[in-house]
Amino acid sequence: MASQLYDSFIADYYDESPVVSKRLEDVAFYRHAARDFGDPILELGCGTGRITMTLAEDGKRITGLDLSERMLERAVTKRAALRVEARERVHLVQGDMARFDLGETFRLVIIPFRPFQHLLEVRQQTDCLDCVQKHLAPGGRLILDVFQTDAERMHDPVHMREMLVTEYKTDDGRQVRVTERVAAFHRAEQRNDVEMIFSIRHPDGRQEKLVFAWTLRYFFRYEIEHLLARCGFRVTALYGNFDRSTLADSSPEMIYVAEAS
């Protein structure tokens, strides 16, 4: 379960990793979307509040929902550091994005940076989209981003070798080297078991190896379109990246903007 996944060391390493801290294009994209579609906003899988806090600082009322207590603890700390007006616009909730009832509706629901790819079963995916439907205000939008699947990453053994993702030093002096590998391919289930390996050298010289092992679900373009249609959505825009470019063979992302049909 994802809650156990992120209720681990990963919550402490998440924000400082350049993979996250240098991920700025999606933040700009969601700020733009919030200006277009308005608030209140519901963010599913909000994690440590990377996007949540920025939208609150932009003046948007936002509810962040996440399964992981430890990720949410980080978000609570970040909220406490906001200016008081922004702080009051952020509401954080622990819950499962495949089963929630917040008793209110939103102009915009967003699912940034892969939480939907933690929903391994079709039932969980449709449950999540059904919950989104119930929480959308009339004329409201859902924005869902997943990566565009690279066929080689579904089977090529080269991806089973550890590859360097990033190296960085934390504020408190830990030297961190992150590598990644696919531990197993499950093509029939459209899943990869992935390991992110954190090799850490502490300031006192102590070495530590921590492994974030998880299973990701990959999707194809029409599969998401069919899922959305099945759950009563109509796609109003589909982008291949956060610059709003059209989806093409080489696009890294599949970003769906949808409304109730």
- Interface residues with ligand SAM (CB under 6 A) are 2, 6, 45-47, 50-51, 66-68, 71, 96-98, 112-115, 118
- How many CB atoms within 10 Å of residue 104? 11
DSSP per-residue letters across 12-61: HHTTTSHHHHT--HHHHHHHHHHHHH-S-EEEET-TTTTTHHHHHHTT--
Q: CB 157 → ligand SAM: shortest distance, Å?
A: 26
**Encoded tokens for 158:** 């080269």
| Residue 258 CB-density burial (10 A; 0-12 exposed, 13-18 middle, 19+ buried) | buried
Q: CB 138 → ligand SAM: shortest distance, Å?
A: 25
Bridge pairing between strands 62-66 and 90-94: parallel
Of 112 and 140, nearer to ligand SAM (C-beta) is: 112
| Beta bridge pairs of residue 210 | 198
Of 15 and 259, nearer to ligand SAM (C-beta) is: 15
Of 195 and 201, nearer to ligand SAM (C-beta) is: 195
- How many CB atoms within 10 Å of residue 180? 17
Q: CB 80 → ligand SAM: shortest distance, Å?
A: 18
Bridge pairing between strands 233-239 and 62-66: unpaired
Q: CB 234 → ligand SAM: shortest distance, Å?
A: 24
Of 79 and 118, nearer to ligand SAM (C-beta) is: 118
Of 51 and 224, nearer to ligand SAM (C-beta) is: 51
Q: CB 249 → ligand SAM: shortest distance, Å?
A: 25
Distance separating alpha carbons of residues 133 and 218, to the nearest angstrom: 23
Of 4 and 207, nearer to ligand SAM (C-beta) is: 4
| Residue of closest CB approach to ligand SAM | 47
Q: CB 253 → ligand SAM: shortest distance, Å?
A: 13
| Residue 123 CB-density burial (10 A; 0-12 exposed, 13-18 middle, 19+ buried) | exposed
| Spatial CA neighbour of 155 closest among 186, 133, 134, 198 | 186
